[in-house]
Each structure stands twice: as structure tokens, then as C-alpha cells.
């Protein structure tokens, strides 16, 4: 049991990125944060749905259709959350090279490792399902009960609700594990590693797209199947839900056993294949195109180093996809209003047409661009090749400004430019040429502006600087920044949508954005920097240690104030004006000969 507990805790910390989100690296604290975040969504759903049912004046027969649509939405939310957490655990489900090289040499049974991984995955799945239904699972069965329903009927509805949510989450998790297990069984190891990343990212965006773009209560999607299962467990006699419940039972009978068998076989087989077969080898690519795009060697070195690191690191690639997935989810929410004709922002945007310039698609381009730039800025700070900073130090023959310019080109080329090209193809395909080119010009200037704001005070080589756990504080900074940016984007899109029909107004808007972008560029480029930062030093610390010699406090001086060496080294990277007058009392140093003895 001791081996199981240690392995279970280790596997659980690998699923959730402690260093990125938790400043103290505590799994309990991080689980509480995730649970609280999902519970907040559940509370929002409860506050929205429950009063609407309590204040409804329509007959229950008509109200039941609205209730079923809302139940379908809640089931879809549970399935989406369970799928997202399963995708996050994708790379840690099967054994990796570290497991084989370390645990393979220890007297630990394979079944102990297997059940520890399974228990860690079940913990994340259970936490996600319980947290996202913490308020709705308790209030919704009471609020949606039929008039005159007794306490036994409500208790049965409550039990049916929780069983349905557990079954829906288990189905999604089992389906994803079955896909991964089948790929691991049928493909060679190196090909599986390449395809696994594609499957992971594909599952990530499919889950988000299905959730935000699905029409209300579609019978062909799994959420409707499990709504039928809920009605069956609740004792509903409506024949409409009987075939849906049968599909849910069939899906569970296929997904769960397939996942169990393929996962167990892949777990056993991967241990041998990891040791016997090499991992993905670097591909040999020509530098001719890079030389044409980036004639300076320093620019070419930084851009290629950044691109190849993103391509080879699953952790950084998944984090990049997570940011872009959040942006895609918000953009799809706007597009859903466009597709189904029920605009949430109807007071501003009435009767939009997809083949004409419309605010919905305009907002989506800015949102995806924002999240792509923020994703690049975040993953640049996460190290993967710390020894590479010595290479950059030894070959630092250029000025720090040259490196900063190359980093800026890397962000714009690798993250902002792909988003711009995707929307350029989309707009030119569905919109007239003139408004498409106008919006693409504004989008290009905005991309440069965002890149300069993101890289202000950033003086690191991407992926080659040490990192302090919890410094990103993503769950706070990203949420506040995204909400503020979306609000400002809505206001700006209203102005742009107006100027697209007035050429003079468009030229004025574009000129203002160009001036602001020029100011942001000069502000970022002129920020004082003496050298690049290769170590993430902690902030200066002044600590009272109250040190005394063994002879007593009266015979030896006390070191009441100690300046850490980390602060002295950190001062080299501080601003010049801060180095001129360091705060605090002077530093007193004693050599071994001068130091008084008791």
C-alpha cells in the first residue's frame, strides 16, 4: 500500500501542472482550486435555471420541453469537462521513458503501477464530475420536479441525475482511452508518438467545437442519449426517450470494456517498446527557406530554436493548444449565435449574414489572435532546454537588443502569422474583397501591437531560462485579462464595423492603430536592458536570522540583517535607477581573521 500511495500521488501531480499553477507545489491546494473553479460554473447554472422554473407561469407540459433542453446542456457540460481533463491526462496515462528507466529497475509490480495510474485518472474524472454538478446536482432535481411529486420521486430523480452524470463522464473518458489504446496497439512506437499528439489536439478541439456549436437537443449526439438514460432511470414513460437510452447503454458497453482491454494491453506492451525502440528522431529539413525569410543568423537561430522546441515538446504544445482552445471556445460562442440566428448581442448586431461582414466573425478573429499571442508569451517562459542557455551565453556576440528583436520575430512568425493567414483565407473566401482586405489590415496592425505589449520587459531566450513555480498565476491573470480584452474588443468591433462602410473613417482608425503600434514598438525596444536574463532569480529577501555564537548572546554580535546572494545577483538585472540607491542598511562582511570569538 505504501508503494501504491507514493505512485498515486506522483501520477496525480503529473496530470495537473503544479509548477505552472500552484506556487507551493501542493496537490491538495491545486485540487481545491480546480474544484472551486468548476463549482463556480455549477453555481452560475443554478442561479440561472432554478429561478426561471420557480417563476414560470406556463403549464408543466410546455415547461418540460425547456427543462429537457436545459438538462441536455448540463449533460453536455459534464461530458465536455470530463473530456477536457482526460485530454490533459493524455500524455501521462501510458508509461513513458522515465517510468521505464526508474520504476523498471525497482522491485515494484506492474499491476501496482497500473492501478496507481488508473486511480489518479479516476480521481481527476471524479473531481471534475462532482465539482461541475456540485450545485446543479442538488438543486436541479428539486426545481424541475413535476407539481405534486412526492419526496420519493424527488429522491429518485436525484439519484438518477448523479448516475447519469457519472455514466456520461465515464463514457467520454473511456472513449478517449479506447482511441489511445487502439492507436498504441496497432501502430509502431515512433508512429504512435507522432499520431498521439495529433489525436490529442484533435480531441481537444472536437470537444470544444461539439460543445459550443451543437444545436439544442440533437438526437444524434451523445448528450441526448444520456438524457434518455436519465429519463429511463427516473421512470419516465415517454416512448421518445427509450431508443435514446438504448443508445446510451450500447455506447457504455462498447467504450468501457474496449478502454479497459486496450489500456491494459498497451500499458504492458509500451514498457518493452520504449526500451527497445527509439523515440521520434529529428527530421532533416533544409534551411534555404529560413535563410530567405531571416537573412540574419541571430534571427534564424532564435526562430528555428523556438519552432523546433514547440514541435518536439508535448507539454508546451498542449499548453499552446489549451490557450488557443479557450480562444476558439469564445469565438465559437459568437459563431453559434450567427449560425442559429439567436444573437446574444442582438441589441448591437441585428440580422447578421455569414457571407457579409458581421461583428460575430470580426470578434472571433481578435479573440483567437489574443489567445495565440498570450499562449506564446506564456510558454516562452517555461524551460525545456536549460543547457541551451550556456550555448547562448558563450555565443553572445550580439547586443541584447538583437536577441530581443529576434524573439519578437519568433512570436509574430510562429503564433500571430498563422492565425492571420487562417482568417485571411476565411474572409477572402466568404466576404467581398474590399472589406476583407480592410479587416485584415487592421488585424495585422493589431497583431504587431499585441506582440509588443506581450514582450514588454521580456528579456529571456525562449525555453532556456529557469522558472519559479507559480510565477505565471494563470488562473487569475488569464481570466482577468481575457475578460477585459473581450469587453474592449466588443466595443472596438462596433467601431470597426461602422468604418468598414466609410473609407475615410477606416483610414482614420487604421492610422490611429498604426500610431499606437509604433509607440508600443518603440516602448518595448527602448526598455533599458544591459544583458539577457538566463536565471529566474527570486525577489530580494531581507530576513532576520538572529544568529549567535555558541558562547552566548552577550559575547558575539548578532547578524540581524542578512542580504542573500540571490538578491546581489538579481541586482545585476534590475533597472539602472534601482542599482544607484539600493535600499536598506549597508552590508557588513567579516573575514575569518576579523571575526570576533567568544
Ordered per-residue pLDDT tens for the chain, 598 residues: 788 888 888 787 777 654 444 444 455 666 666 677 788 888 888 888 778 777 777 787 778 888 888 888 899 999 999 998 888 788 777 777 777 777 777 788 878 888 888 888 888 888 889 999 988 888 887 877 777 777 888 888 899 999 999 999 999 999 998 998 888 888 887 788 778 878 888 888 888 878 877 776 677 888 899 999 999 998 887 888 889 999 999 999 999 999 988 888 887 777 666 665 555 555 555 556 677 788 888 888 888 888 888 877 777 877 788 788 888 888 887 877 676 654 444 444 445 577 788 888 888 899 899 889 988 888 888 777 666 667 777 777 778 888 888 899 999 998 899 999 999 999 999 899 999 999 999 999 999 999 998 888 888 888 877 665 555 555 555 556 667 777 788 888 888 888 888 889 899 999 999 999 999 998 888 777 667 777 765 444 444 445 554 444 444 443 333 333 443 444 444 444 444 444 444 444 444 444 444 4
Model pLDDT, residue 273? 67
User: Is residue 474 a contact partner of residue 21, using CB atoms and an 8 Å limit?
Assistant: yes
From residue 364, alpha-carbon distances to 11, 170, 207, 369, 490 in Å are 37, 32, 18, 8, 10
CB atoms within 10 A of CB 449: 19
pLDDT in tens, 206-245: 888 788 777 766 778 888 999 999 999 988 878 888 899 9
List the alpha helices (DSSP H) in 473-575: 474-499, 503-525, 565-570
Residue-by-residue DSSP string for 423-481: HHHHHHHHS-HHHHHHHHHHHHHHHHHHHHHHTTT--B-TT-S---TTSS-HHHHHHHH
> What is the C-alpha to C-alpha distance for residues 33 and 477, in angstroms, rounded to an integer?
15
pLDDT attached to residue 553? 43
Cβ-Cβ contacts under 8 Å for 247 (sequence gap 6 or more): 225, 228
Is 378 in a helix, a strand, or coil? helix
- pTM, two decimals, is 0.73
- The pLDDT tens digits for 530-581 are 677 777 654 444 444 455 544 444 444 433 333 334 434 444 444 444 444 4
Which value, in Å, is the radius of gyration of the alpha carbons in the chain? 29
Beta-bridge partner residues of 582: none
> Length of the chain in residues, anyone?
598
CA–CA separation, 14 vs 18, rounded Å?
8
Cell numbers found for residue 43: 453555481
Beta strands, E only, 13-156: none
Question: Which parts of 187-241 fold into alpha helices (H)?
Answer: 189-213, 222-233
**Burial of 288 by CB count in 10 Å (0-12 exposed, 13-18 middle, 19+ buried)?**
exposed
Mean residue pLDDT of the chain comes to 76
Enter the DSSP assignment of 414: I
Contact assessment for residue 121 and residue 173, using Cβ atoms and an 8 Å cutoff: yes
Amino acid at each position: 500500500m505504501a508503494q501504491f500511495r507514493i505512485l498515486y500521488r506522483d501520477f496525480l501531480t503529473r496530470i495537473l501542472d503544479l509548477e505552472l499553477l500552484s506556487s507551493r507545489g501542493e496537490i491538495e491546494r491545486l485540487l481545491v482550486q480546480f474544484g472551486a473553479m468548476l463549482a463556480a460554473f455549477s453555481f452560475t447554472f443554478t442561479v440561472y435555471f432554478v429561478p426561471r422554473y420557480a417563476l414560470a407561469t406556463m403549464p408543466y407540459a410546455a415547461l418540460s420541453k425547456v427543462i429537457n433542453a436545459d438538462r441536455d446542456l448540463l449533460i453536455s457540460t459534464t461530458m465536455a469537462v470530463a473530456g477536457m481533463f482526460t485530454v490533459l491526462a493524455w500524455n501521462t496515462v501510458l508509461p513513458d521513458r522515465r517510468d521505464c528507466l526508474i520504476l523498471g529497475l525497482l522491485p515494484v509490480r506492474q499491476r501496482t503501477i497500473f492501478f496507481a495510474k488508473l486511480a489518479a485518472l479516476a480521481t481527476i474524472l471524479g473531481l471534475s464530475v462532482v465539482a461541475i454538478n456540485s450545485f446543479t446536482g442538488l438543486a436541479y432535481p428539486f426545481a424541475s420536479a413535476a407539481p405534486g411529486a412526492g419526496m420519493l420521486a424527488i429522491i429518485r430523480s436525484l439519484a438518477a441525475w448523479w448516475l447519469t452524470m457519472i455514466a456520461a463522464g465515464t463514457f467520454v473518458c473511456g472513449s478517449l482511452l479506447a482511441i489511445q489504446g487502439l492507436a498504441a496497439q496497432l501502430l509502431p512506437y515512433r508512429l504512435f508518438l507522432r499520431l498521439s499528439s495529433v489525436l490529442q489536439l484533435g480531441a481537444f478541439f472536437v470537444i470544444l467545437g461539439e460543445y459550443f456549436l451543437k444545436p439544442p437537443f440533437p438526437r444524434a449526439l451523445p448528450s441526448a442519449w444520456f438524457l434518455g438514460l436519465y429519463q429511463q432511470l427516473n421512470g419516465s414513460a415517454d416512448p421518445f426517450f427509450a431508443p435514446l437510452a438504448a443508445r446510451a447503454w450500447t455506447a457504455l458497453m462498447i467504450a468501457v470494456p474496449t478502454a479497459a482491454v486496450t489500456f491494459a494491453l498497451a500499458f504492458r506492451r509500451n514498457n518493452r517498446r520504449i526500451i527497445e525502440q527509439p523515440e521520434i528522431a529529428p527530421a532533416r529539413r533544409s534551411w534555404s527557406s529560413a535563410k530567405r525569410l531571416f537573412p540574419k543568423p541571430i534571427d534564424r537561430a532564435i526562430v528555428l530554436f523556438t519552432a523546433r522546441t514547440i514541435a518536439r515538446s508535448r507539454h508546451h504544445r498542449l499548453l499552446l493548444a489549451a490557450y488557443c482552445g479557450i480562444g476558439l471556445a469564445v469565438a465559437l460562442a459568437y459563431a453559434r449565435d450567427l449560425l442559429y440566428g439567436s444573437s446574444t448581442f442582438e441589441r448591437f448586431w441585428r440580422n447578421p449574414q455569414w457571407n457579409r461582414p458581421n461583428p460575430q466573425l470580426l470578434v472571433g478573429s481578435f479573440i483567437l489572435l489574443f489567445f495565440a499571442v498570450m499562449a506564446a508569451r506564456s510558454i516562452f517562459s517555461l524551460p525545456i532546454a536549460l543547457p541551451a542557455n550556456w550555448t547562448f551565453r558563450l555565443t553572445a556576440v550580439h547586443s541584447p537588443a538583437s536577441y530581443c528583436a529576434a524573439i519578437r520575430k519568433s512570436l509574430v512568425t510562429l503564433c500571430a502569422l498563422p492565425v492571420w493567414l487562417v482568417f485571411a483565407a476565411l474572409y477572402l473566401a466568404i466576404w467581398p474583397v474590399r472589406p476583407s482586405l480592410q479587416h485584415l489590415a487592421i488585424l495585422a496592425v493589431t497583431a504587431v501591437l499585441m506582440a509588443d505589449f506581450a514582450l514588454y520587459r521580456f528579456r529571456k531566450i525562449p525555453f532556456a531560462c529557469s522558472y519559479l513555480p507559480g510565477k505565471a498565476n494563470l488562473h487569475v491573470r488569464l481570466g482577468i485579462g481575457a475578460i477585459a480584452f473581450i469587453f474592449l474588443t466588443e466595443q472596438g468591433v462596433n467601431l470597426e464595423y461602422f468604418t468598414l462602410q466609410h473609407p475615410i473613417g477606416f483610414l482614420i482608425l487604421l492610422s490611429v492603430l498604426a500610431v499606437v503600434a509604433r509607440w508600443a514598438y518603440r516602448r518595448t525596444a527602448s526598455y533599458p536592458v544591459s544583458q539577457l536574463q538566463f536565471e529566474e532569480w527570486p525577489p530580494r529577501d531581507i530576513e532576520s536570522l538572529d544568529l549567535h555564537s555558541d558562547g552566548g548572546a552577550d559575547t558575539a554580535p548578532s547578524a540581524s540583517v542578512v542580504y542573500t546572494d540571490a538578491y546581489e545577483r538579481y541586482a545585476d538585472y534590475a533597472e539602472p535607477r534601482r542599482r544607484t540607491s539600493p535600499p536598506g542598511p549597508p552590508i557588513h562582511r567579516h573575514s575569518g581573521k576579523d571575526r570576533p570569538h567568544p
